Amino acid sequence: MITSTLETVPGRMIREHLGIVQGSTVRAKHIGRDLMAGLKNIVGGELKGYTELLSEARDEAYERMLQQAEAKGANAVINVRFSTSSVTQGASEILAYGSAVIVE
């Protein structure tokens, strides 16, 4: 599956548009990470726990988007965008969406 944040896949012609595909996941941190984050807020620096958490969540959202694209029969997803929003304090939703297309 080819993915691109561009309008096109360079060098390939878009034969068919299949519509929007989206993948999302909602993840929460646990109390342990909160504690470490609290300490880091005093010391400063990268909150590795949260970085990992959001990283994993983004991977999962991305995978789900690709799953939808496959289900549609596409072989590429263009104009991929990521969006993060906080659903509630302590939980974030990661959304990955794009346009499923068939390129030759």
The residues of the shown chain that bind other proteins, judged by CB under 8 A, are: 7-8, 14-35, 38, 53, 60, 64, 67-68, 71-73, 78-79, 81, 83, 85-91, 93, 95, 97-101
Dihedral sign from CA coordinates of 48, 51, 57, 58: negative
Distance (Å) of CA 99 to CA 21, 48, 53, 77:
6, 32, 26, 5
Residue 55 CB, shortest distance to other proteins, in Å, is: 14
Q: How far is the CB of 71 from other proteins (least distance, A)?
A: 5
Task: CB nearer to other proteins: give 44 or 88.
Answer: 88
Q: Least distance (Å) from other proteins to the CB of residue 11?
A: 16
Cβ count within 10 A of residue 66? 20
- Phi/psi for 85 (5° steps) reads -140, 150
